[in-house]
Amino acid sequence: MKRYIYIFTAALALTLAAAPAAQAQEKATSQLPYKYESRLGICGYPTLDYENFTHFYYDPYYTGTPIKDIFSEYDGPTYMTGNIMASLDIHCRKRFTVSFGLATNGIWSNKYDAMTDLKTRHVSGVVVTALSQVKFNWIAREVVRVYSSLGLGITGGKFDDLSDAYLAGQAVLLGVSVGRRFVGFAELGSGSMYMGGMVGVGYRF
């Protein structure tokens, strides 16, 4: 009988001794092996930038071109780089990440004389967006992360005689990042910054 008591006491002592180590291991596996992730990516179609910073618009009450505009300058094709975004991800928990980013979208075009069709001047501008995001990690592994996110921020810019500032919002329906230290990522989303996708590279530390 005493032998069983000794065995039970020894087993209990080993269990109590191993408990803190087991808890520490469980806590460690609940966290990602990295805390931060710096990113650089290029976005898809710049939805609101195109609508707010170009002279193209739809007027349902359009009645014709004023006489003064017939002899003035006209716009050539307008080009954009698309939003190029640098961001920092902070992994607060295994399932949750917060991100702070800054994006720029370059715009340029040429003006032409309405009478001669000769180029009169070159115009350029830039649109800047500051965006904060909250990401939920559906899958969070050391190499692969699958996530969705919601972001809010502000956009402001100027191009030619157009200037504007407005709230920015962006949703990522599905994002995937692959890598250990150096990673590549791709996102599918929609919002004021872009519609379609975003691809880029990052570094975890």
What pLDDT score does 39 carry? 98
Low-confidence ranges of the chain (pLDDT < 70): 1-32, 55-71
What pLDDT score does 190 carry? 93
The answer to whether the CB of 87 falls within 8 A of the CB of 39 is yes
Query: What pTM did the predictor assign?
Result: 0.75
Going by C-alpha positions, the residue among 56, 76, 70, 162 that lies closest to residue 119 is 76
What pLDDT score does 27 carry? 45
Which of 176-188 are b and which e, b meaning 16 or more Cβ less than 10 Å from the residue's Cβ? Answer: bbebeeebebebe
Which burial class, exposed, middle or buried, applies to 86 when counting CB atoms under 10 A from its CB (0-12, 13-18, 19+)?
middle
Q: Which residues contact 8 (CB under 8 A, 6 or more apart)?
A: none
Start-to-end CA span in the chain (Å): 56
